[in-house]
Structure 1
Amino acid sequence: MTVTQAAPALSRAARGQVGNRWSILVLLCLSLLLITVDATVLHIAVPALTAALEPSSVQLLWIIDVYSLVVAPLLILFGTLGDRYGRKRLVLAGFVLFGVASALASSAANPGMLIAARALLGVGGAMIMPATLSIIRQVFTDRRERAIALGVWSAVAAAGAAVGPLVGGVLVGFWWGAVFLINVPILLALLPAAARLLPESRERERRPWDALSAVLSVFGILALAFGLKEAGAGSLLPLWMSALVFFAGTGLLVWFVRRQRTLAAPLLDVGLFRRREFTTGVAGVLLGVFSLVGLQLMLAQYLQLVMGDSPVRAAIRMLPLVISAITGGLAAAHILARIGMRATMSGGLGLVAISLSPTLAWGVEAHPVMLALCFIGIGFGVQVALLAASDTIMSSCPESRAGGAAAIEETAYELGAGLGVAVLGTITTIVYSPALHAVPGVSESGMDRARQSLANAAHVADQVGGTAGAALLGAARWAFVNALHTTIVVSVVLLSVTAAAVAMLLRRD
């Protein structure tokens, strides 16, 4: 079926826009790349930023985290607004806001200004992200072409998050504000191209829009994400208050779901979750990103704090993960066509579990070749599984609800990332702390600080110096490796169970 046959109601101009679908895909992927890079670009820029603005530890946490905390709860809101008022205009408005926020962030004179600018960046990113998937669903009507487009999209999403620290490491050499200011000329080039190329929504929603549902979804997901992050970091709230915030968010989301079931025109079609393929796809995205982001953080710490790599060198050594992720995203469409949805998704998750297993035998010694092979398997497997999950999600809903479905998928990405960092990071801390026993020559207060994290242990060891400092650092490294092994066991079990569940739940193609 041709694109014109699939959409006979389109005007000649609109058909011309759809004919430029590959140019549209490039534009959407460049937009997505900006958003995903910005989520991790500060990881290496932190030292220079700290020297320039002198934020407190809590302010520094918010500078890094506020972007994701704002993006996650707004995805469903802007996804459904795009369905109702037009995805193109939402993308254009998001470009403008993202550019303005980038300029404000680069010129921030104090931590408060930078936190506010980062929050605005999150709003702009949330306006753009749902439209990238729903417009792909709109312009790629052929199932095979759409699978290829989604593979490119997922590869860009993974590559952006993975290369963010590397980009930050290069740009911060000039000036810390360059990590934000670089967005402005790119957006100035993308804005006119988007105005010319992007199609209008074919099926515009005309149903009532429920403001209370929007409020419940935003504050429910925000409270859920904030509670999870605080439970893992404990920087602002005690554990019991973090749990209270988490359960309050859960309650708001339960209220949101129940309200959607009673509305004649719900903000989000929760009936989509009655479809086995849709629910399985969302679960695959959530758990796939959970493993990728959580393990990426843990392995990055392994490279820097156990192996002694600098941040930039660690980022370079993780390049096989980036390259294999891009390759997996591009190859996934062909794999999907050959072996089917069920085998692609479950096989990808299984490959990640197998690729992680060799790390359970490692200590503090270097394994450069095996590490690269493990990264290749992780990146390729995750991307193949995510492409299959994304294709399942977007193919199981009508185009008029594509924005909402895309928002659910991208919310699963954000929540998966937050869960991965919070849960796996918490497991690492719980195992690491008691495994680090007292070291002769190190005070009790020094040991208490060293047990908080491996980074703190390295700082204390440097202050103590001599034989005692070297002994403390060696003991801390072994304690961290022991904790990392526990985290990997949890991940391998979770990935294996998920792969088996996918194989049983998805129908044979």
Structure 2
Amino acid sequence: MSRTTPAGSTGEASDVPAHTAARRVPGDAPHANRWTVLVVLCASLLLVAIDATVLHVAVPAVSEQLRPGSVELLWIVDAYPLVCASLLIMFGTLGDRTGRRRVLLFGYAFFAAASALAAYAQTPGMLIGARALLGVGGAMIMPATLSILRHVFPDRRERALAIGIWSAVAAVGAAVGPLVGGLLLEHFWWGSVFLINLPLMAAGLIVGRWLLPESTGDRRGPWDVLGAVVAAGGLFGLILGVKHAGGGHPFSPGTIVPLTAGLVLLGVFVRRQRRRTYPLIDVRTVARRAFGTAVGCIVLTVLALVGLALIAAQYLQLVLGFSPLQTGLRLLPLSLAAIAAGLVGSRLLRLLGPRCMVGLGFLLTIVAVICLTGLGQEDRPVLLVGGFVLLGFGLETTLFGCYESMLNEAPAARSGGAAAVGETAYQLGAGMGIAVLGSVMNAAYAPGVRDVPGVSAVAKGDASHSLGEAYGVAAQVGGSAGDALRTAAREAFVHGMHVTLIASAGLLLLGALAALRLPRSMDDGASGGADEQDAADGTTDEEHGTAKDSERAGQDGWDEEPAVAEGGGDRRAPASVSGRLPRQADRSQERAGAVPHAPSAGSGNGSGKGSPSGNGNGRGHGQKQGDGSDLLPSGTTRP
């Protein structure tokens, strides 16, 4: 056998073919400056997360200066999350093809330019356009940070700690956005909430170009432009419909039409991905039990987080009478608890495993919302702080376990698309939180202001929309009737908050039950995890291509590394698995002993490698004749 020297070696002989050695699967070895890379990624993510909520406290100032109509004001607030959520899959998969750092740096530039445009907007339309551009930049940044993190932290234990810090930063950014906005608005004009992005994004461009490593995923085949556009349109319609339903119009054409169109387009997208040889999103990955469960738990967690945060902000400002700055300070324990959960998350994951960790997070959150039902019209700081600490720790624990499980299930070569799915789930959960819990809140609140004596039916109808409108109506009515309406509205809001908290506890209980589908420990299925699906990608090629395509797919899917077997001879092991935990790598080498050479056309293993005509060599269980297409990624047969 000819001996070749892989790129980057010092002359030591190896059996690795030169053309294969040049195409190492991303994530083979840990990056030397990975912790510095994590700091850069978290700094950029923090800005994106802050920008999602910082405008909320600036809405009154924007309304006073730009005089937008009600529809324009709605689009000023919603343009950013709508555009961002719609384009996550597009830019996440584009990063896998063209380079994740490249997409991230373009995102920095877009975000900085859009921030400057928003800060000096002179008309509502100009501000809406700037917010939409911010969404484009955010969609470039968010999945790129997570996929680069997946690349520079191939070891699962280190990656778990990195994901904990990453997810804590995301939670903190969303929570401190109103606090940052309140501080800026006390000293500057409303545009200052956008200008803070400029120097930080400029620094990110310089530091990112210098420190961040470039990485790409599976670049075989063309990028599915049409599929990306269909996915963006479907997500835009779906999230727009959900947000419109949360505004109190669940059965109006403005809700039904975009929801229907979005669902149809997403159905077309899924069907298209199933049929393509090189899909944007591998449906097999999404269908994996742990991956799909983690995504669903993310939706439920964020649904509770955003819905409860919105209600908490209104409670603190409108019922207890706190200023925006005081409100941000009262919410600070939630952020600090989230940071703590992120920092200890990797240790908890090793101790408890994904299933127990996510379940524990849901249970802590349930206890927190039940405790918060003890809040009333008087300030109870101890109960408030205790509830927020439990809430922040529980929610962050859940998000940590979900993101770690999801990213571990995703092939390294497609981590951008997987990260985009997770971030889309986050945005969808945020929209559903406002829609679902907002609807529950309105249904419980409205009856409490309809029986106030001395107030006209029209005034009662206006007051039933929200507590803020009730205060405005009460000021117009004046006198004892106005005072009675104000008191009734406060009582109704507190009652509605209690009902909403109980409803959210029920949703969180569903999440705790769903968590039972996650792996029991970090090692469960690890040996047959995501990276082996990289090696198994030849299955798709064989199903849709020729024997020649199958052979090429086998070469692309397997980067061979010499692994010493017990007998002393060289054995082949998937390079993408060698960067895993030592225990997992050892198991991979043991299994590789049964595969002395890389698979070629006409032979295959239980992971789905080889041609349909080959015999399937299982990994000790679940063996089955054929092409292995009916095997789960872990190697077990489907029921």
| Cα drift, residue 501 of structure 1 | 2.4
User: In the aligned structure 2, how far is the partner of 1:98 from the partner of 1:8?
Assistant: 37
User: Are 2:108 and 1:95 equivalent residues in the alignment?
Assistant: yes
Q: 1:402 corresponds to which letter in structure 2?
A: S
**Match for 1:144 among 125, 132, 157?**
157
Distance 2:327 2:373 in 1: 20
Residue 20 of structure 1 deviates from its aligned partner by 0.7
Deviation at 1:507, TM superposition (A): 3.6
1:104 and 2:104 correspond? no
Per the TM alignment, residue 445 of structure 1 is displaced from its structure 2 partner at its CA by 1.7
- Of 363, 374, 379, the match for 2:387: 374
Whether the 8 Å CA contact 2:248–2:439 is kept in 1: the answer is: no
Q: How does 1:223-242 map to 2 (within 5 A)?
A: 223-233=237-247, 239-242=252-255
Deviation at 1:203, TM superposition (A): 3.9
Is the CA contact 1:342–1:507 (under 8 Å) kept in the aligned structure 2?
yes
In 2, Cα distance between equivalents of 1:145 and 1:365: 45
- Is the deviation greater in 39-48 or in 154-163? 39-48
Q: Paired residue for 2:233?
A: 219
Tell me what 1:180 maps to: 194
Check whether the contact 2:29–2:154 (CA below 8 A) recurs between aligned residues: no
**2:482 counterpart letter in structure 1:** G
Aligned ranges 1:321-360 → 2 under 5 Å: 321-360=334-373
CA distance in 2: counterparts of 1:117 and 1:35, whole angstroms = 14
**Post-superposition CA distance 1:384-435 (Å, at most 9, x none):** 1111111101111211010000000111111111110111111111221123
How far residue 241 of structure 1 moved from its aligned partner, in angstroms, is: 3.6
Equivalents in 2 of 1:219, 1:440: separation in Å?
Answer: 49
CA shift at 1:280, angstroms? Answer: 1.2
Residue 433, structure 1, aligned to residue 446, structure 2: yes
1:468 paired residue number: 481
User: Following the alignment from structure 1 to structure 2, what is the Cα–Cα distance between the partners of residues 232 and 387?
Assistant: 27
Matched, 1:200 2:225: no
RMSD: 2.1
Aligned partner of 2:511 in structure 1 is: 498
**Residue deviations 1:290-313, cap 9 Å, x none?**
111111111111111222222221
SS of 1:195's equivalent in the other structure is helix
- Name the structure 1 match of 2:77: 64
- Partners in 2 of 1:189 and 1:15 — Cα distance? 29
Give 3-state SS (helix, strand or coil) of 1:19's partner.
Answer: coil
8 A contact 1:38–1:164 mirrored in 2: yes
Aligned length: 502
**Which AA in structure 1 matches 2:62?**
L
Tell me how far apart the structure 1 counterparts of residues 495 and 519 of structure 2 sit (CA, whole Å).
Answer: 36
For residues 77-123 of structure 1, give each alpha carbon's deviation from its aligned partner in whole angstroms, at most 9, with x where no partner exists. 00000000001111111111111111111111111100000100100
- The residue aligned with 1:76 is 89
Q: Does 1:210 align with 2:224?
A: yes
After TM superposition, give the deviation of residue 189 of structure 1 in Å. Answer: 1.2
Alignment of 1:385-464 (within 5 A): 385-464=398-477
Deviations 1:266-301 (A, max 9, x none): 111111122111111111111111111111111111
Question: What corresponds to 1:270 in structure 2?
Answer: 283
5+ residue gaps, structure 1, are none
| Larger RCO: 1 or 2 (CA < 8 Å, sep 6+) | 1
2:236 is aligned with what amino acid? L
In 2, distance between residues paired with 1:382 and 1:243? 31
Any conservation in 2 of the 1:83–1:404 contact (CA below 8 Å)?
A: yes
> Could you tell me which residue of structure 1 aligns to residue 533 of structure 2?
none
Distance 1:238 1:111 in 2: 28
The Cα shift of 1:330 comes to: 1.1
Given that 2:445 and 2:493 are in contact with CA atoms closer than 8 Å, whether structure 1 keeps it comes out as yes
- Amino acid corresponding to residue 68 of structure 1 in structure 2: P
Secondary structure in 2 aligned to 1:365? coil
Distance 1:241 1:284 in 2: 28
Kept in 1: contact 2:318–2:468 (CA 8 A): yes
CA 1:202 to 1:81, structure 2 compared with 1: closer, same or farther past 3 Å?
Answer: closer
Conserved? CA contact 1:85–1:204, under 8 Å: no
Deviation, structure 1 residue 16: 11
State the Cα deviation string for residues 330-376 of structure 1 (Å, max 9, x = none): 11111111111111011001100011102224332222110110000
Answering whether residue 168 of structure 2 is matched by residue 155 of structure 1, we say: yes
SS in 1 for 2:220: coil
- In structure 2, the CA distance between the partners of 1:316 and 1:360, relative to structure 1 (3 Å rule), is same
Q: Which moved more, 1:458-467 or 1:189-198?
A: 458-467
Q: Hey, what does 2:324 align to over in structure 1?
A: 311
State the TM-score, normalizing by the size of structure 1: 0.95
Gap change, CA 1:413 and 1:41, over 3 Å in 2: same
The CA distance in 1 between the partners of 2:248 and 2:386, in whole Å, is 35
* AA aligned opposite 1:123: V
CA offset digits 1:471-495 (Å, max 9, x no partner): 1111111111221122111110111
Superposed displacement of residue 251, structure 1: 1.4
Q: Which of the numbers 474, 491, 495 marks the counterpart of 1:482? A: 495
**SS across alignment from 1:94:** helix
Letter in 1 for 2:99: G
CA contact (8 A) 1:290 1:416 kept: yes
Aligned residue identity for 2:145: T
Alpha-carbon distance between aligned partners in 2 of 1:336 and 1:263, rounded to the nearest angstrom = 36
Determine the C-alpha separation between the residues in 1 that align with 2:28 and 2:206: 19
**Higher mean C-alpha displacement, 241-250 vs 32-41:** 241-250
> Do the aligned partners of 1:390 and 1:409 also contact (CA within 8 Å) in 2?
yes
Distance 1:324 1:8, change over 3 A: farther
1:33 paired residue number: 46
Q: Which has the higher helix share?
A: 1
Q: Distance in 1 between matches of 2:224 and 2:110?
A: 25
Q: Is the 8 A contact 1:461 1:470 kept in 2?
A: yes
Contact 1:105 / 1:118 at 8 angstroms: preserved in 2?
yes
Partner residue, 2:144: 131
Which range moved further: 463-472 or 373-382? 463-472
**Structure exhibiting the larger radius of gyration computed from Cα positions:** 2
Structure 2 distance, partners of 1:361, 1:128, is 40
Q: 167, 170, 177: which is aligned to 2:180?
A: 167
Tell me if the contact between 1:276 and 1:506 (Cα under 8 Å) persists in the aligned partners. Answer: no
Give the Å deviation of 1:504.
Answer: 4.6
Given that residues 10 and 202 in structure 1 are in contact (C-alpha distance below 8 angstroms), is that contact kept between their aligned partners in structure 2? no
Is the contact between residue 37 and residue 163 of structure 1 (CA under 8 Å) also seen in structure 2? yes
Question: What TM-score comes out, normalization by structure 2 length?
Answer: 0.76
- Return the letter of the residue paired with 1:226: L
2:204 aligned to 152, 174, 190, which one?
Answer: 190
SS in structure 1 opposite 2:373?
helix
Q: How far apart, in 2, do the equivalents of 1:457 and 1:81 lie?
A: 48
The alpha-carbon deviation at position 184 of structure 1 amounts to: 0.7
1:202 is displaced (CA, Å) by 5.0
Which residue identity lines up with residue 389 of structure 1 in the other structure? C
Query: 1:252 offset after TM fit, Å?
Result: 1.1
Instruction: Look up the equivalent residue of 2:172 and give its one-letter code.
Output: A
